[in-house]
Amino acid sequence: MMQSDIYTVNVGPIHPSTHGGLHAEAVMDGEIIQDVIVHLGYVHRSVEKIAESKTYQQFVPYTARLDYLATNLPVLGYCQTVEKLLGIQVPERAEYIRVIMAELSRIASHQIAIAATGIDLGATTGLMYGMRDRERIMNIFEMTGGQRLLSSYIRIGGVAADIPKEFIPVVRSFAHDIPLMIDEYNGLMTGNEIWAARMQGVGILSLEDAVKYGVTGPNLRASGIAYDIRKAEPYGIYDRFDFDIPVGSRGDSLDRWKVRIEELRQSGRIIEQALDNLPEGEITARVPKVLKPEPGIEVYHRIESAKGELGYYIVSDGGKKPYRLHVRAPSFINLMVLPLVCRGGVFQDIITNIATLDPILGESDR
């Protein structure tokens, strides 16, 4: 009988495939993972405390830095929460522009997930193709919001500026090309036998566990339930769009990967519909310079971010700064299942699982 010792390997915080400052301490028996202990906080900025010392408008750019890969989604969530708090009605045109920007952000985030999964599994070329396509979204963001990554384009009451006139054709051609991109990702990666072998049956997250652990977003849907807040509790004008919710069946890495790829297509559909119905009109509601919600009022508002349920809980004391702001970060809670899905797998599965759970540390550490 061979004697073997349990030993630990520290994946991160400085490691090529931990998507930021994630530190996963793998307890291993040979190549088999016994447990994974996740250490967070390497990018902790205490955003919730910062919020208490900033006015409602000043905090907008900070939210963009939560999920910096899908920059418009956390901003959208925050702005909608504050609008709910104040009862601000956003103009139609702004709502449509917001939907377009939010879905573009979702695509950008998923493309990063695809690209990063590519490089994590050793398909370096997949990284480049994902990044190449994402670059077009970055150009759109630059064109509208002025910044490529953290544009803070969505503002309380509407959007910062009207879309430039070249916006619509550019976005339309991008939405049109999404199926071609998907074909390429599928051809290079999904259909590849090595790829399938590395993902199939790896990191299985059962539906029961997923709900119990509060996993949301593509990771929950991959486990086999069509739960999407855009449909379940539509915010903004999402009830007006026709799109499908891709669902997996086994909840393994391959399902998570496929759900993300399919969501690109659905986001493309939403963008096309929004472009078709884009009305003319105001782009921002009349918002007072100093925002003072009624004292004692509080609201929990959630949106379907690229990573899952992104919720903001804001308590107002009547001042111009939030009394308490809490961010329900999907990455933070999705990461909780990392030990669960890794146990029993081999060392390389940690990398696969981190990649397909798609956490973003800016959001999880806040």
Partner 1 sequence: MQEFDLEQMVQNIEEQLGDKIRTERDQFFTVLNIDSSELLKLMRELRDDYGFNYLANLSSVDYGEEFEVVYHLYSIPDNNKVCVKTRVSRNSAEVDSLIDIWPTADWQEREVYDLMGINFKGHPNLIRVLLPDDFAGHPLRKDFVMGGR
Partner 2 sequence: MNGQGLIKGLGITLKHFFQKEITEQYPDVMPELAPRFRGCLQFEFEKCIACGICVNSCPNDVLSFETEKSENSKKKKLLSYTIDFQYCMFCNLCVEGCPKDCLHFDHDFELSTFSRDDIKRVYLRPAEMDEEEEVETASMQDEQENKEQNKIEAMSKALQKNPAKILAQVLEQEEDIKILSELVQESEKTALKMAELLVKDKEKAAKVAAGFVTKEKKNRLQAEKGGEE
Partner 3 sequence: MEHLFTNLAAAFTGWMITLGLSPVWADIILLLVKWIIIITIITLNIIVLIWLERKVSAFFQERLGPNRLGPFGIFQTIADAIKLLTKEDIVPSAADKLIFKTAPMFFIVVAVMLYTVIPLGQGMEVINLNIGLLFFISIGSLSTIALLMAGWGSDNKWSLMGAVRSVAQMISYEIPLAFSLLGVVMISGSLNLQDIVAAQDNLWFIILQPIAFITYFIAATAELNRGPFDMPEAEQELTGGAYTEYTGMRWALFFLAEYTNLVAVSALMATVFLGGWQGPWLPSWLWIIIKTYGVILVFFWVKWTFPRIRMDQLMSFSWKVLVPVSLGNILLTGAGIYFCKWMGWC
List contacts with partner 2 (CB under 8 A).
Answer: 54, 57-62, 64-65, 125, 129, 132, 135, 139, 142-147, 150, 152, 160-161, 164, 184, 187-189, 191-196
Report the alpha-carbon distance of residue 217 to residue 331 in Å, rounded: 10
Per-residue DSSP letters for 158-217? EESSPPPTTHHHHHHHHHHHHHHHHHHHIIIIIT-HHHHHHHTTSS---HHHHHHTT--T
Binding mask 193-232 for partner 3 (x = CB under 8 A): -xx-xx----------------------------------
Report the alpha-carbon distance of residue 237 to residue 262 in Å, rounded: 22
Is the Cβ of residue 58 or residue 277 nearer to partner 2 in the bound state? 58
Residue 35 interacts with which of partner 1, partner 2, partner 3, none, CB < 5 to 8 Å by class = none
State CA 66 to chain mean position distance: 10
Residue 348 interacts with which of partner 3, partner 1, partner 2, none, CB < 5 to 8 Å by class = partner 3
CB atoms within 10 A of CB 16: 10
Residue 184 interacts with which of partner 3, partner 2, partner 1, none, CB < 5 to 8 Å by class = partner 2
Report the alpha-carbon distance of residue 190 to residue 249 in Å, rounded: 16
Which residue in 233, 268, 254 sits closest to 136, CA to CA?
A: 268
300 binds partner 3 (CB under 8 A): no
Report yes or no: 90 and 157 within 8 Å, Cβ to Cβ.
yes
Element (H or E) spanning 223, and its range? none
Q: Which stretches of the chain bind partner 1, using CB under 8 A?
A: 40-41, 44, 46, 48-49, 53, 84, 211-215, 225-227, 232-233, 297-302, 309, 311, 313, 315, 323-324, 326, 328, 332-333, 335-336, 365-366
Residue 59 interacts with which of partner 1, partner 3, partner 2, none, CB < 5 to 8 Å by class = partner 2
Report yes or no: 96 and 278 within 8 Å, Cβ to Cβ.
yes
Residue 150 interacts with which of partner 2, partner 1, partner 3, none, CB < 5 to 8 Å by class = partner 2
Coil, helix or strand at residue 11: strand
Residue 119 CB, shortest distance to partner 2, in Å, is: 15
Structure tokens at 148: 């490529």
Report the alpha-carbon distance of residue 124 to residue 130 in Å, rounded: 10
Is the Cβ of residue 20 or residue 282 nearer to partner 1 in the bound state? 20
Is the Cβ of residue 134 or residue 302 nearer to partner 2 in the bound state? 134
For residue 6, what are the β-bridge partners? 29
**Please, what sign has the CA dihedral across residues 217, 92, 76, 185?**
positive
Residue 360 CB, shortest distance to partner 2, in Å, is: 18
Residue 311 interacts with which of partner 2, partner 3, partner 1, none, CB < 5 to 8 Å by class = partner 1
Binding mask 24-63 for partner 3 (x = CB under 8 A): -------x--------------------------------
State CA 192 to chain mean position distance: 26
Per-residue DSSP letters for 261-283? HHHHHHHHHHHHHHHHT---S-S
Residue 9 interacts with which of partner 1, partner 2, partner 3, none, CB < 5 to 8 Å by class = partner 3
Residue 31 CB, shortest distance to partner 3, in Å, is: 6
Is the Cβ of residue 92 or residue 298 nearer to partner 1 in the bound state? 298
Residue 214 interacts with which of partner 1, partner 2, partner 3, none, CB < 5 to 8 Å by class = partner 1
Which residue in 253, 249, 6 sits closest to 114, CA to CA?
A: 253
Residue 111 CB, shortest distance to partner 2, in Å, is: 14
Residue 84 interacts with which of partner 1, partner 3, partner 2, none, CB < 5 to 8 Å by class = partner 1
